[in-house]
Structure 1
Amino acid sequence: MHPQAATLWKGPQWALALLLAALTMVGPFSIDTYIPAFSGIASALHATPVQMQQTLSAYLFGFAFMSLFHGALSDSFGRRPVVLCGMAAFGLASAGCALSGHVEQLVLFRALQGISAGAGIVVSRAVVRDMFAPARAQKVMSQITIYFGIAPTIAPIIGGGLLVLMGWQSVFWFLALVGALLWLASWRLLPETLHTSFRQPFQVRHLMHGYRQLCASPRFLLLVLASGVPFNGMFLYVMSAPAWLGGHLGLAPTQFFWLFLLIIGGIMSGAWISGWLAGKVAPAAQIGLGFSIMAAVAVLNLLANVFFEPRAWWALPPIGLFSLGWALVSPATTLLVLDLFPLRRGMASSLQASATSVANGLVAGLLAPLVMDTPAGLAAGSLGLMGVGLVAWVLLRLRWPDVGRELQRH
């Protein structure tokens, strides 16, 4: 924590949370705004479905790869320079997407978008812990999650509207504008939260030692699994939305918003509860409650889809409840990850974000196509992904019973 943290930000806490949330929104915005333009881009660039899928995969794996380094760079050079460089590169890459005349060019610039977009989410987590003691940090992290939850709701609406009004290129010009505005806001408002005495040497040997230290820690790896993989229990449904909502539930595209509305409502409700519980209930108890909700919902969801013909009125609400459970787990586990290695919080955030992004890419590219043909397959996939995180958490508690048991203080 920065020794002068109380003097670094003069405004209200919610305003800092809003700025950091905006930086974390860059990632989902880069996906959700352009998905409605898939058909328009494919038609304009004469791209096959496989090539269009490559534009998504290139982004996800570019995000995952560079996320390994954003945090480490911020541990050495400071938080501000990494955010500013990331937002500048994101804006330029978005402009490159808009100017692409061939799908191969679009794939390249989408990869560059992914490489740069991760700076916001990775560094923002480290900034929170630089600025605040544990309980207050969880409150801020919860506020960020609430704001962050808005992105998947409004992004497809913006993308679809821009596509209809001005064509597919306007989606990427909009993202370029987002990058420029976030660069300006960060340049004007974001303080440098990493004290010079905490900076790490930028040397290959030192960096490799840090990566080995984190990756060799079973405690760290189990926390990363517990914090990142369960998200995919609901992300699987998002990636399978056309097949699930349109094919299995018989909803029209104009009714797809119900899924996103329930997910966002669940995330925002869970994040609010997490913030309210911060400093009152130990993190382990909050995480246990979140996993209990997700496990109960996932099991009931699977049983219902096995024995009954799915109907929208009962098939959609479980996904919203699942997202509430995940939002209870995420802020507390993220802070536990960051606090394992206080001098390498940026690197820890990098590895956490990279692992989550790799999981997202595997779910989108491999698991979703395998299970989307049947509602029971989707429910089983969701349960399995949640189960990975639950098993990691149980193993962590068995090996280190004191993890998260202490009440966080302001």
Structure 2
Amino acid sequence: MNSTAVLSAKPIKEHHQGIATILAFALLPLSGFATDIYIPSLPSMAGQLQVSNIQVQMTLTLFLISYGVTQLFIGSLLDSFGRYHIALWSLILFAAASFVIALTHNIWVIYLMRIVHGITVGGVIVAKRAYFIDLFSGEKLKGYLSMFSIIWSTGPIVAPFIGGYLETAFGWKSNFYFLGGFAAVLALLDYVYSGETLQNISAFKLKSIAKTYATMFSTVSFTIGLIMIGLAYSMVMIYNMTGPFIIEHKFHQSPVVAGYSSLILGLAWMTGGIIGKATINKPFMGRMAVNITIQVVLSILMLITIRYVSGIAVMILFAFLIHVAAGFTFNNFFTYCLSLFPKNGGVASGLSGGVNYVIVSVMSYSIVAALPAKDATNLGWSYLLLIIASVLAMFVLKLKKA
């Protein structure tokens, strides 16, 4: 596909723009659905596939790595070859991979399909984030960007709730049948109502692309912002990888309870995003300093409290409060990073998401390997490690701004 092909692709119709915008928002939580819907099924998958906990947790890690790496490079393709066809075919392939997972009992096939999931979700999400940058500007764009983490959080809220019931009623495979059907329906709607939105075509020249990437990474505040985004979401992913095992094995609760717990923490993330949007005009460094201080206090209190009071309610209470603060961090820094380079919306969107997930995949898997899904104490230490790293990143950012 060349620039001529992009220009001749089906343009978005003005009277369809409202529906297309709703569809773009509806697709933003796809990455959350792709991970969170089968979170309550992780223990069941490990048992039925006859693999270890860490092996089934690897299905999450492989998705995160492929999703993150894809976003690092997909932005330049989207800026050169358009958004519409890449997003549409990615949705179709995602649906196909979901059905393959539901039909196999081979963990290696699942690993491969989860990599396909990561690549295709990367294409969809970055294209839809760029959609907003293509069509909107000024305060309207800033408002939409600040809504991204709020809309995204509907995935972690709704998906585990659905997944817990699907697991209990039909088993773990039903989660992937659901994902396949969901993606197929949205692909059909996207084909009917969406269209090409790319207005400024960038020539696909590796030298020029490398220069753009170098400019972005050399902007210290942008790089620190990416690190903060990754550390914030790592808190969510570490819970996703360990929480169901703690709830179902340590506290002897059902997958439905694990699903409800994840739903509650999804609400926490959304709450943090809403607070971030509501305070977007407050001094940036001041509100972030307060937020990080609250996280430090909460993580220390969690470790002290669970030594004397053990139970699922205590664990979820502290996790909820920490995830609210993490959602606040994510919302503020994600909005900031995306708004820095409006002329390279695809690349900025790709890097913001890609570096985030690379950091998340490395941090979450490393911490879970060092602090296995044994009890709430290990979860508390995992949070504290990530929060200390956030404090260090904020200190560097403050020195840069001073």
1:134 to 1:312, Cα distance in 2 relative to 1, 3 A: farther
1:213 to 1:293, Cα distance in 2 relative to 1, 3 A: same
Partner residue of 2:349?
Answer: 349
Q: In 2, are the aligned partners of 1:90 and 1:179 still within 8 Å (CA)?
A: yes
* Matches of 1:250 and 1:135, distance apart in 2: 49
Q: In 2, are the aligned partners of 1:20 and 1:144 still within 8 Å (CA)?
A: no
Amino acid paired to 1:52: V
1:297-327 Cα distance to aligned partner (Å, 9 max, x none): 223223334x534333433222212222222
Query: Identity of aligned pairs, percent?
Result: 24
Structure 1 residue matching 2:391: 3-state secondary structure: helix
The answer as to 2:155 corresponding to 1:151 is: yes
Q: What does residue range 31-110 of structure 1 map to in structure 2 within 5 Å?
A: 31-38=35-42, 41=45, 47=51, 49=53, 51-100=55-104, 102-110=106-114
Partner residue of 1:338?
Answer: 338
Q: In 2, are the aligned partners of 1:297 and 1:322 still within 8 Å (CA)?
A: yes
* Matches of 2:101 and 2:69, distance apart in 1: 20
1:99 to 1:238, Cα distance in 2 relative to 1, 3 A: closer
* Matches of 1:380 and 1:134, distance apart in 2: 41
Amino acid paired to 1:355: V
* Matches of 2:41 and 2:261, distance apart in 1: 19
Offset at residue 186 of structure 1 (A): 2.6
Partner residue of 1:392?
Answer: 393
Offset at residue 118 of structure 1 (A): 1.6
* Matches of 2:28 and 2:162, distance apart in 1: 18
1:163 to 1:242, Cα distance in 2 relative to 1, 3 A: closer
Q: Which runs of 5+ in 1 are unaligned?
A: 1-6, 402-410
1:354 to 1:254, Cα distance in 2 relative to 1, 3 A: same
Partner residue of 2:229?
Answer: 227
Q: Which runs of 5+ in 2 are unaligned?
A: 1-11
* Matches of 1:399 and 1:312, distance apart in 2: 41
1:44 to 1:248, Cα distance in 2 relative to 1, 3 A: closer
1:101 to 1:213, Cα distance in 2 relative to 1, 3 A: same
1:292 to 1:204, Cα distance in 2 relative to 1, 3 A: same
1:47 to 1:348, Cα distance in 2 relative to 1, 3 A: same
Structure 2 residue matching 1:256: 3-state secondary structure: helix
Partner residue of 1:240?
Answer: 242
Choose 185-194 or 392-401, whichever is displaced more. 185-194
Partner residue of 1:300?
Answer: 301
Offset at residue 266 of structure 1 (A): 1.8
1:362 to 1:93, Cα distance in 2 relative to 1, 3 A: same
Structure 2 residue matching 1:310: 3-state secondary structure: coil
Offset at residue 129 of structure 1 (A): 3.4
Q: What does residue range 309-324 of structure 1 map to in structure 2 within 5 Å?
A: 309-324=309-324
Q: In 2, are the aligned partners of 1:227 and 1:389 still within 8 Å (CA)?
A: no
The answer as to 2:292 corresponding to 1:291 is: yes
Query: Which residue, out of 187, 191, 204, partners 2:191?
Result: 187
Structure-2-length-normalised TM-score: 0.83
Offset at residue 109 of structure 1 (A): 1.6
Offset at residue 229 of structure 1 (A): 1.0
Q: What does residue range 198-217 of structure 1 map to in structure 2 within 5 Å?
A: 199-217=201-219
Offset at residue 202 of structure 1 (A): 0.9
Q: In 1, are the aligned partners of 2:167 and 2:255 still within 8 Å (CA)?
A: no
Q: In 1, are the aligned partners of 2:341 and 2:348 still within 8 Å (CA)?
A: yes
Q: In 2, are the aligned partners of 1:21 and 1:145 still within 8 Å (CA)?
A: no
* Matches of 1:344 and 1:20, distance apart in 2: 19
Q: In 1, are the aligned partners of 2:67 and 2:121 still within 8 Å (CA)?
A: yes
* Matches of 2:13 and 2:276, distance apart in 1: 25
